[in-house]
């Protein structure tokens, strides 16, 4: 309550006029949360909720991107939960060549990184490969393109636990090869 003197006491600190009982209550209030073992172990009531993006359910980006014109690497955007029954699971791409053709490849298998049209491909070419022709990137110029597609995840409990791998490919002849590509993304239905 400011009822002490010292050489480093700020002049804005002034006595609050607390009674001994109020002082003891204040000390108890401050000591308990600072020394409560539940704080160190993050148990209730000092626990915190696990956010979706830090859970094992969030899509995981992996591999290396293949740069396009101007040295820009297209980036995959995959933030939505791959929840069974989601009618609009959205995957996006940004920082690609604007106004260029773009496709999304989705498969049940992945590769360790295979050359493909000058790009590195992480999506396998299995019989389950799905190619989504997304049209042209929105925007113009090197690194200024973006696009997204919404996929329907059927309301089928048999999908729970199944994994998919996806990667965007941007037609980019100005980069010295045929395609620029994003890193890949792995997501598991729940």
Q: Is the pLDDT of residue 17 over 90?
A: no
C-alpha distance from residue 66 to each of 70, 115, 178, 183 (Å): 12, 10, 11, 8
Average pLDDT on 123-151 reads 95
Higher pLDDT among residues 48 and 28, named by residue: 28
Write down the pTM of the prediction: 0.75
User: For residue 50, what pLDDT is reported?
Assistant: 77
3-state DSSP of 32-49: HHHHCHHHHHCCCCCCCC
User: For residue 27, what pLDDT is reported?
Assistant: 87
User: For residue 44, what pLDDT is reported?
Assistant: 86
Contact between residue 104 and residue 168 where contact means Cβ atoms under 8 Å apart: yes
Does residue 76 sit in helix, strand or coil? strand
φ, ψ at 26 (rounded to 5°): -65, -45
pLDDT tens digits, 40-81: 788 888 887 778 878 888 999 999 999 999 999 999 997 789
Q: Would you list the DSSP string of 111-138?
A: EEEEEETTEEEEE---TT-EEEEEEEPB
Burial environment of residue 35 by CB neighbours within 10 A (0 to 12, 13 to 18, 19 or more): exposed
């Amino acid at each position: 309550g400011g009822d002490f003197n010292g050489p480093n006491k700020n002049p804005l600190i002034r006595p609050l006029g607390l009674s001994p009982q109020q002082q003891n209550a204040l000390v108890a209030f401050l000591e308990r949360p600072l020394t409560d073992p539940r704080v160190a172990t993050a148990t209730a009531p000092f626990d915190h909720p696990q956010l979706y993006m830090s859970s094992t359910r969030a899509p995981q980006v992996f591999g290396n991107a293949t740069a396009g014109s101007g040295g820009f690497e297209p980036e995959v955007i995959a933030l939505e939960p791959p929840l069974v029954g989601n009618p609009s699971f959205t995957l996006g791409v940004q920082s690609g060549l604007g106004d260029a053709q773009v496709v999304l490849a989705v498969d049940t298998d992945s590769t360790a990184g295979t050359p493909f049209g000058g790009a590195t491909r992480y999506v396998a070419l299995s019989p389950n490969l799905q190619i989504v022709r997304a049209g042209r990137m929105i925007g113009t110029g090197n690194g200024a393109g973006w696009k997204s597609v919404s996929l329907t995840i059927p309301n089928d409990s048999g999908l729970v636990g199944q994994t998919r791998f996806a990667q965007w490919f941007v037609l980019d002849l100005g980069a010295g090869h045929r395609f620029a590509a994003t890193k890949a993304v792995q997501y598991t239905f729940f």
